[in-house]
Structure 1
Amino acid sequence: MRNTVLFAFIGLGIGVVTGCFFINDTTSEFSVRLYHRLQAAGDQDNIIFSPLSVAVALGMVELGARGASLEEIRQAVGFSHLLPGVEFSLLQNLTAALSDDDTHYIIRFANSLFLQEGVTFNPEFLHLMRKYFRADVETVDFSESAAVAEQINSWVENHTESKIRELLSAEDFSSVTRLTLVNAVYFRGSWKNQFRPENTRTFSFSRDDGSEVQTLMMYQQGDFYYGEFSDGSQEAGGVYQVLEMPYEGEDMSMLIVLPRQEVPLASLEPIIKAPLLEEWANNVKRQKVEVYLPRFKVEQKIDLRSTLQELGIKNIFTNDADLSAMTDGKDLYIGKAVQKAYLEVTEEGAEGAVGSGMIALTRTLVLYPQVMADHPFFFVIRNRRTGSILFMGRVMTPEVIEPNDHDFDSM
């Protein structure tokens, strides 16, 4: 019986509600392909995942891979045009650019190897893991599955301020598990232009299935990067809006892509491609905009094994896996791949602070462009200097406010 490896990706973001260019981040196309796979799997579900977290975790696996296992990862993630090994420095630089101590936000990357006691791993592999990914190394006994799950989950909680809990369970391990790779990403940022809590009101949010829910809608008028785009046909419903809202320091931002009110997000999603992300970022212009944005909290646990296999990363999950750069033998394969991501978008210090009254929903006679996110939208949180995508997802249903909730204001 071959030994199994488990690796997990954890992405966490807290956006405290809170012209650009791309240095060639070769993982953008991979990010978009991942999104489309997740979109196809859930018709009306929110989506949140961290493409950079997936790329980093796959980089950790790639360090130990050879042959077809290595080439499949390089091809799928977008590294095949690079000289072998260059991708590790690229990932190292992308994560270093995000976690600079001089930044105005908090991003923490935490990588760890949990190794089976008594198994000898290649010293060069462990050295490179520390060099490129600053990975901690701990030994465990995977046959004690409950204790191992508790240990790893505690490690994840400690590196995500307790936002990501119960990532793994005892059932994820067995006596043949030999290695678990865990990558945690924690992000917290405040908007450069913050929303005033007293302007938050209860609004109706129209879902794409025709139903409506009540949610807390934030409002402000401020200077943002904004543009209106069209795909040149009616495939995306004609013109759609793109709003870029920088976080404090302006290195990080959230791009929000909003179709017209009557156009379902599913009509716009097929046109999303990596070059289009670059086009949006390069062509939004700074101007005064009225912004209506719901508070939202999205959390998702994704079993990425089948998704990665669909993207061409198959070998590492089979008995044909070659992870021999990790150990001298060829008896390892990836048993499971999972990511759990969390993103919360609120006003700065707005917890429980909801004003009374109403904001008019008028779409006429406005002096400035108006972004009314009262229907599903796509979003990206990225580094504006490198183009690396920390989070990508969509909001199909924001936080729902029930009539008997403390925060509910009758319209």
Structure 2
Amino acid sequence: MLILGLLSILLLGPGYRAADIPEDPTAEFSVRLYHHMQGGDENIIFSPLSVALALGMVELGARGASLTEIRQALGFSHLPKDVEFSMLQNLTGALYEDDARYIIRLANSLFLQSGVTFNPTFLRLMRKLFRAEVETVDFSESAAVAEQINGWVENHTEGKIRDLLSADDFSSVTRLTLVNAVYFRGSWKNQFRPENTRTFSFSKDDGSEVQTLMMYQQGEFYYGEFSDGSSEAGGVYQVLEMPYEGEDMSMLIVLPRQEVPLAALEPIIKAPLLEEWANNVKRQKVEVYLPKFKVEQKIDLRETLQDLGIKKIFTKDADLSAMTGEMADGKDLFIGKAVQKAYLEVTEEGAEGAAGSGMIALTRTLVLYPQVMADHPFFFVIRNRRTGSILFMGRVMMPEVVESSDFDNDSM
């Protein structure tokens, strides 16, 4: 399993006029982000944790209404002032506690315009609270800056996320760029055997079918069947939780019935429901059919965040004066761009680079145990089971397609 995501936020100065471990309180924010991204028939992958950390860095430099909007959107309004920073520290620290079983990296960086004076207290707190690296650049040399930042991104994501930003993203009025990278690679606690992977038909919500590589195993997992009590979500749906080595991290898969499109289930997804699923799945033997898939997506978050109530930091009314202290034009800073790019790959052993396997048809056998047949679109969450922190959230509308020339049709 390889999953990673990255979020970059660009701050611009005057002259630019383009339009104990606590539970994570940002779950509702995560779900709201997802609902603003859904629609259409595309795969979705993003990192709520990456967004929360990047906004936390902006919050550190915000004041007034700009600060209030960020705290409200992220779910921090009920917390005493500044408590959220130590909370974010604890949540991210919890991810490292079992890192002998998996690889996880949370990397933050500040790229500052040379010649501009930034508040030393802001920089010190960025290093202390977010472990941020700080580098000075000349944003007027836009091509060189884009190459430098993209190189930093590639280095912290094992080369999986490339070309996050371009020279067009910078100009002489850019003052600061915050970049946050999240990288995770882990192995399933119960791995799939590659020799059991076969070609299989995956039914898309539009009624068409594609051929994909379907993994199979019978093992002990956390499983439950749920109903929303109405026909809104098509009645009963399945939830499967598959832990990674160490069991602190897991993938939660939510699968509607075969004849029910995922779009019918998505409206009921809410933060309390995520907890209900996680708390009520029971360990039992399950037959699992899960497609191999790879998802990558670049998202412009500016409009989405504005829709969620974070508006002022993207306008000339932004108050990010804590970043600059007594700098004369400190109150003229605002966010020019918010971008995230995320990547997810699921394979038999969970690690990157799974070996290819035989491509012959699967046949359904007598069902002795609950069967999760993910041969149609499903929703998923990658989360820390102790804190509830959501590293990644998304859906698979279509997995990797096996072309007809790649397998023997007679075997189908």
Instruction: Mark the CA change 1:187 to 1:5 in structure 2 (over 3 Å): closer, same or farther.
Output: farther
Distance, in Å, in 2 between the alignment partners of 1:39 and 1:361 is 32
In the other structure, the counterpart of 2:196 is 199
In the other structure, the counterpart of 1:367 is 368
Distance, in Å, in 2 between the alignment partners of 1:409 and 1:68 is 65
Instruction: Mark the CA change 1:5 to 1:203 in structure 2 (over 3 Å): closer, same or farther.
Output: farther
SS in 1 for 2:303: helix
Distance, in Å, in 1 between the alignment partners of 2:69 and 2:187 is 38
2:288 is equivalent to residue 264 of structure 1: no
1:359 maps to a residue whose letter is: L
Distance, in Å, in 2 between the alignment partners of 1:223 and 1:168 is 43
Moved more, 97-106 or 290-299: 97-106
CA offsets, 1:44-74, max 9 Å, x none?
Answer: 0100000010000000000000000000000
In the other structure, the counterpart of 2:9 is none
In the other structure, the counterpart of 1:64 is 61
SS in 1 for 2:275: helix
Distance, in Å, in 2 between the alignment partners of 1:315 and 1:149 is 26
CA offsets, 1:83-115, max 9 Å, x none?
Answer: 010111111111111123654111100000000
Distance, in Å, in 2 between the alignment partners of 1:392 and 1:357 is 31
In the other structure, the counterpart of 1:355 is 358
In the other structure, the counterpart of 2:114 is 117
1:374 maps to a residue whose letter is: D
In the other structure, the counterpart of 2:223 is 226
Distance, in Å, in 2 between the alignment partners of 1:100 and 1:147 is 37
SS in 2 for 1:280: helix
2:45 is equivalent to residue 75 of structure 1: no
In the other structure, the counterpart of 2:132 is 135
User: For the Cα contact (< 8 Å) 2:360–2:408, is it kept in 1?
Assistant: no
1:402 maps to a residue whose letter is: E
Distance, in Å, in 1 between the alignment partners of 2:340 and 2:410 is 36
User: For the Cα contact (< 8 Å) 1:403–1:410, is it kept in 2?
Assistant: no
Which of residues 149, 153, 167 in structure 1 aligns to 2:150? 153
CA offsets, 1:309-333, max 9 Å, x none?
Answer: 0000000000000000001321200
SS in 1 for 2:189: coil
2:380 is equivalent to residue 379 of structure 1: yes
2:316 maps to a residue whose letter is: N
Moved more, 22-31 or 241-250: 22-31
Distance, in Å, in 1 between the alignment partners of 2:36 and 2:343 is 19
User: For the Cα contact (< 8 Å) 1:4–1:179, is it kept in 2?
Assistant: no
2:137 maps to a residue whose letter is: V
SS in 1 for 2:372: strand
Instruction: Mark the CA change 1:131 to 1:23 in structure 2 (over 3 Å): closer, same or farther.
Output: closer
SS in 2 for 1:244: strand
SS in 2 for 1:404: helix
Instruction: Mark the CA change 1:96 to 1:407 in structure 2 (over 3 Å): closer, same or farther.
Output: farther
In the other structure, the counterpart of 1:16 is none
In the other structure, the counterpart of 2:171 is 174
2:253 maps to a residue whose letter is: I
Q: CA deviation at 1:360?
A: 1.0
Distance, in Å, in 1 between the alignment partners of 2:341 and 2:400 is 19
In the other structure, the counterpart of 2:24 is 25
SS in 2 for 1:218: strand
In the other structure, the counterpart of 1:320 is 317
Distance, in Å, in 1 between the alignment partners of 2:408 and 2:111 is 44
Q: CA deviation at 1:172?
A: 0.4
Instruction: Mark the CA change 1:406 to 1:142 in structure 2 (over 3 Å): closer, same or farther.
Output: farther
CA offsets, 1:211-265, max 9 Å, x none?
Answer: 1111000000000000000000010000000000000000000000000000000
User: For the Cα contact (< 8 Å) 1:106–1:189, is it kept in 2?
Assistant: yes
Distance, in Å, in 2 between the alignment partners of 1:109 and 1:24 is 19
SS in 2 for 1:300: strand
Give aligned-pair identity as a percent: 83
User: For the Cα contact (< 8 Å) 2:34–2:393, is it kept in 1?
Assistant: yes
CA offsets, 1:338-393, max 9 Å, x none?
Answer: 0000000011277342124332135xx41100000000000000000101000000
Distance, in Å, in 2 between the alignment partners of 1:356 and 1:252 is 30
SS in 2 for 1:308: helix
Distance, in Å, in 1 between the alignment partners of 2:360 and 2:404 is 15
Instruction: Mark the CA change 1:102 to 1:155 in structure 2 (over 3 Å): closer, same or farther.
Output: closer
Which of residues 299, 302, 308 in structure 1 aligns to 2:299? 302
In the other structure, the counterpart of 1:341 is 342
Q: CA deviation at 1:5?
A: 12
Which of residues 14, 18, 21 in structure 2 aligns to 1:2? 14
Q: What's the TM-score once normalised by structure 2's chain length?
A: 0.92
SS in 1 for 2:398: coil
Distance, in Å, in 1 between the alignment partners of 2:338 and 2:346 is 27
1:29 maps to a residue whose letter is: E
2:14 maps to a residue whose letter is: R
Kindly tell me the number of residue pairs found equivalent between the two proteins.
392
Aligned CA-pair RMSD: 1.8
Q: CA deviation at 1:409?
A: 8.1
Q: CA deviation at 1:210?
A: 1.1
Q: What's the TM-score once normalised by structure 1's chain length?
A: 0.92
In the other structure, the counterpart of 2:34 is 35
Q: CA deviation at 1:296?
A: 0.5
2:23 maps to a residue whose letter is: N
User: For the Cα contact (< 8 Å) 1:296–1:398, is it kept in 2?
Assistant: yes
| Contiguous gaps of at least 5 residues in structure 1 | 7-21
In the other structure, the counterpart of 2:389 is 388
SS in 2 for 1:297: strand
In the other structure, the counterpart of 1:17 is none
